Structure 1
Amino acid sequence: MAPVSNSLQPPSPDAKEQERGSVFRPKFGADGLVTAVAVDDSSGDILMLAHMNAEALAATLATGEAHYYSRSRKAQWKKGETSGQIQTVKRILVDCDQDAVILRVTVGGDGGACHTGARTCFYRAVGADGTLTRAD
């Protein structure tokens, strides 16, 4: 995805326009965030779930690299800025009411996404008894 110059449009009060229209109008929650899921563009693996505020989403569109908003630190951050795991955005998909996005990305550095060192944040599976085991 080439960087895009985009001033984000507010959500449409018309549900039909919001859900079926051709203009990107992200619908931020009361907390000012949309949910963002990063997916490896070549494998389809889910890498991570994060959140974006308007600034992070605009930065992602402007640079073609994923920026997120940390709810715990209350700050915007560029994925991979310190780890080298830069997420280059190939495509952005938006859900029907535009309150969640999927970022199809390629990952730099070691190709990982999780702060634990795992390739994906979803590296454990939940058993019927509630135990966690490695998913890979």
Structure 2
Amino acid sequence: MDDYRKRIIDNILKDELDAMGAVVLEGPKACGKTTSAQQASDSVIYMDDPLRRTQYLQMVDTDMNYILSGATPRLIDEWQIAPKIWDAVRFEVDHRRKDGQFILTGSAVPPKEDKEQMKHSGTGRFSWLRMRPMSLWESSDSSGDV
């Protein structure tokens, strides 16, 4: 993106990708999670794409490799739509044995009944980052001077 405005989280996300197999980027809607994650990713799948959502949900149940395949880091946007992605990513991270494989973004956590499908906590495989709306310094509305 030519008009991307650098965010504080960009360097933190890069550092986490260098240290962990997957990074979960959470935060409120419209705070810039997807846009920031796109800058760090080499391939993207948008689980909430209205034209492909049904197809993607079917692929989660029939051929998870379709969802996980792609250049890394692979961004899976709104992953919580299909909570089975969590354990599949954890499995891939374990078997690929490389850092920086996936970025999962979402503004919501799966509902409790869906969370029960998730068998692993992600400890040792996932790093969690909380993103906030753009600061005044990031938006250039402040110089950041004190």
Q: TM-score, normalised by structure 1?
A: 0.25
Which protein is richer in strand relative to its size?
A: 1
Task: Specify which structure has the bigger relative contact order, considering alpha-carbon pairs within 8 angstroms and separated by 6 or more residues.
Answer: 2
Q: TM-score, normalised by structure 2?
A: 0.24
